[in-house]
Structure 1
Amino acid sequence: MVMKLLAHDLLWGMPLPAEAPDWVFEALGDNPPVVVRRGIVAAGQVAVGIRGRRREQRYAASMPQAAITRRLSPEQLIDVQGTHDWPALQALAQLRPLLQASGLVWGVAGSAGHELASGIAALHAGSDLDLIIRTPVPVSRQWAADLVAALDNAVCRVDVQLQLPAGGLALREWAGSARQVLLKTDQGAQLLSDPWQPSQACA
């Protein structure tokens, strides 16, 4: 299956890894999605993360692209209705009009995305809401600060990662005053003053 895969996409079809903690084999028995992560892997493979039942159970692996049977992107989950009334899903409903009005492509990631995509319980009463916003061109720090202020009115903590051409950037960090910010790339994290500058981000 040939497709363009992006960080935070959810994939089905993950084969059992050759070596992994026991909880990984138990978790994969439910045929859950795995999440695309940033990382360098061999040709024909995609870097993925496997989620266990407990918060600390996260396992980095690689998945053959040929094994993928289904893919969902975060933006395909924005209108999916959950089966439980968790605060994170209340926040999603509360923020949906604001995010739609931004004119930017956005999506649901993290535990909320996993539960909405699969129906497998991943949220609880104290869960944050994790979102992504695709920002192929620069957004100002003032725009970021204004959005953070709006998000802080939600019923639970909301964490947003901006998806730049070269990697991922935390909205709250871009909204801050530090001269350099941390961009997560396939090659690792980089401190940059202009994370949208390709020559700088790929250096």
Structure 2
Amino acid sequence: MTGPAPWIPAEAGGAERRHAPATLRNRMAIADVLREVLPRSGTVLEIASGSGEHAAYFAGEFPALAWQPSDPDGAALTSIASWCEGIENVLPPLDLDAAAPAWPVSGADAVLCVNMVHISPWEATLGLMAGAGRVLVSGAPLILYGPFLRDDVPTAASNLAFDESLRARDPAWGIRSIAAVAAAGTGFTLERAIEMPANNLMLVFRRR
């Protein structure tokens, strides 16, 4: 398996609208889990929204929730705005760096982060856990999706190859262990680790 696919123009929406191929493969499986763990109402803060395709899809699947996409990349913010144009329950995307000591949002009812932890420096995960701790109230979910290492489960060969390719692209990247992520979230309890297609996991944390 190679590293993450580069942004490519979507078939519609012009060059400003970007397409991440993985979103089409994983969005339905992710939505199935979100139906079990998201609150019935309130605001979902999505960290590292990327192209914005997940935000547009999930907003349609959960019309009673307000979706707050975010990303630190200017091209991503433009793409998010394009994908989500006209969707009433999607808020304007925020310029938000997970690693920053302060986020431009005061609160949320859930935080979702898809495919960021392994494609960013470890400082971004530390910032994610700290920031989610600041914006979530007790009992609210922090939901992470992606490949993770588990101490008690052999790592799939495809994930080992993926990890190697990530570290070749950037030594600060790489698949993280669940134990390390959980230890970084001192204000959270890991409630569930859910098996997902293609050797991915959904980690559901709860704010203490």
Same fold (TM over 0.5): no
Higher strand share: 1
The higher relative CO (CA closer than 8 Å, separation ≥ 6) is in 2
- Tell me the TM-score normalized by structure 2: 0.30
TM-score (norm: length of structure 1) = 0.30
Larger gyration radius, structure 1 or structure 2: 1
**Is the helix fraction higher in 1 or 2?**
2
